[in-house]
Structure 1
Amino acid sequence: MGTGAATARGKGQAERAANSKAVAAGARAGFVARGVIYALIGVLALRIAFSGGGGGGGQADRGGAIAEIAHKPFGTVLLWLLGVALVGMSLWRLSEAAFGQAGPDGKKPGKRAMAAGRCVFYGFVAYSVLAYAAGDKSSGSGSSDQSSQDVTAKALDWPGGQWIVAVAGAAVAGAGVWIAVRALMRKFRKRLKMSEIPEKMRQAVTFVGVFGGTARGVVFAVAGGFAIAAAVQHKPGKAKGMDDTLRSFTDTPAGPWLLALTAVGLVAFGVFSWASARWREV
């Protein structure tokens, strides 16, 4: 009984730590960091749209955003702050995976599994940013396009590689559709403390949540579609990271205007992330 009581007591302490103000502060800092990255990606994508697409305008992905920050005054300090904030986001997602999310359905296995996946993702992003800040310039700022093609090429060489890449692409595309649909249905509102948002700002927060979430979902869905094409045609070069995915929008009949609209949407998602830092339930 003593061992069981000690285990229960330890679990209770761990859960209280997960629900502490420090973890909540880390989560909010993480939302700020996520907002900075998406806002910068959107600005870089706008440059590409105004430069006519092609190879101009910089690299519109996380690596481009990191490099952009690094070249600013006190850029290294800003990267350290950004990386630490993303560690906070990862730890918050870890606490959700271990003990459940806020809300009545937060302890469902599916929710906790998604939180675990986000923990790993933000942990990787935090590592890449911190490694770059520490001097490893090959980390974090690499091209997402080249990385996607390299990973796809390796996977296609595996037994059943085409199926693996196709399934992975379908998963990314499905995630993008899911993100966009949830944004359009305003599902994010149930995670926000809407009653605490000043009345004049509620409509603006809802707008950037819908617009930004939809734009983000579309980018994911299109990137997943390119991965599926790479699998079907057995051509790794067909796979695209965020930068090439965004540039591909200039090849549509809408030309650079579709890219510009998507870029503004990514900036809007950055703004929504900042609003989440203030009013999200954590």
Structure 2
Amino acid sequence: MASSHIQKNHGRLGGNHLTQEETVSAAGRAGFVARGVVYVLIGVLAIRIAFGAGGGEADREGALAEVAGKPFGIAVLWALAVGFGCMAVWRGIAAVRGRGRDGKVTARIMNGGRAVFYASVCWGTAAFATGDRGSGGDAKSRDWTRTALQLPYGQQLVGAGGCVLIGVGVGIAVRAAMRRFLRRLDLSSTPTGTRHVVTALGVGGGVARGMVGAAAGIFVLVAAIRFDPQQAKGVDATLRSFAGTPAGPWLLVAVAIGLMLFGAFSFASARWRRM
């Protein structure tokens, strides 16, 4: 009787643990879906800009505005806010109880930073849904740079921040080109064609995402060198700068398609990510 009672309790505890793991995994997958929606919309807006079709700012705020203007847009915004909140929770849990690769100190710190980032994105999306649109990403970047430059050693601080952004952007692009993301996906049971498609999405999308991040870092570094916060650019202005290169709007189109690929890769991550 006692042995049977212990087995029942063990089974109940095991079931509860499994339910908790499934809940955490579902939270992470919801976050990847939300991220995918925003990146696809940013890419669409950037393509419109490249062809002179307008479409608002090609950044997160522009993507949210695009959603808000559609039927049931506010409901979708709240769903995105929930998704980003889930991503913040999932990253936070990974930072606290990291296992495997996520158990390393650097991985825990990075997951903690991502948790804070997605918590702020969740808050911003919820505020957007309530009608508090605030200023655009470009204005925020200039404001933050101006405030930082006014601090003691502000010029060095902003310069270091620009270098960090450049390094992160280059790192994202290099890891994508090396297909490092495949380590975190479980594609063992998928057809060969599906694996090839997901790999292409990850490489193309990651390289484009890294390019945008590195370019934004360059503008922040220039702002520090010139002590001019107007040189700092958000995602929208950074994307528009690609159209001003010798390649013309076609480089912007290529980057925009890459961001859409990263959005699609986020959807694939929601399906096949090892949680």
Establish whether TM, by shorter chain, passes 0.5.
yes
1:5-63: CA deviation from partner (whole Å, max 9, x where unpaired)? xxxxxxx99x95896211110100100000000000000000010118xxx44200000
Q: CA deviation at 1:197?
A: 2.5
What is the letter of the counterpart of residue 90 of structure 2? Answer: W
> Who wins on radius of gyration, i.e. which is larger?
2
- When structure 1 is superposed on structure 2, of 226-235 and 56-65 the one drifting more is 56-65
Q: Where does structure 1 lack aligned partners over 5 or more consecutive residues? A: 1-11
Matched, 1:177 2:170: yes
Q: Where does structure 2 lack aligned partners over 5 or more consecutive residues? A: 1-12
Equivalent position of 1:37 in the other structure: 38
Matched, 1:196 2:189: yes
Equivalent position of 1:64 in the other structure: 62
Contact kept, 8 Å, 1:18 with 1:92, in 2: the verdict is: no
- Structure 1 segment 116-195 matched on structure 2, within 5 A: 116-138=112-134, 142-195=135-188
Equivalent position of 2:9 in the other structure: none
Counterparts of 2:271 and 2:183, CA distance in 1: 15
- Structure 1 segment 205-244 matched on structure 2, within 5 A: 205-244=198-237
Equivalent position of 1:23 in the other structure: 24
Give aligned-pair identity as a percent: 51
Counterparts of 1:93 and 1:127, CA distance in 2: 16
Equivalent position of 2:95 in the other structure: 97
Contact kept, 8 Å, 2:95 with 2:102, in 1: the verdict is: no
2:109 is aligned, of 110, 113, 122, to 113
Contact kept, 8 Å, 1:197 with 1:279, in 2: the verdict is: no
**How high is the TM-score relative to the length of structure 1?**
0.90
Contact kept, 8 Å, 1:18 with 1:95, in 2: the verdict is: no
Secondary structure of 2:133's counterpart equals coil
C-alpha RMSD of matched pairs (Å): 1.8
Equivalent position of 2:75 in the other structure: 77
Counterparts of 1:183 and 1:19, CA distance in 2: 31
Counterparts of 1:82 and 1:275, CA distance in 2: 17
What is the letter of the counterpart of residue 49 of structure 2? Answer: I
1:187-242: CA deviation from partner (whole Å, max 9, x where unpaired)? 00000002033322110100010000000000000000000000000010000000
What is the letter of the counterpart of residue 108 of structure 1? Answer: K
Secondary structure of 1:106's counterpart equals helix
**How high is the TM-score relative to the length of structure 2?**
0.92
How many residue pairs get aligned? The number is 262
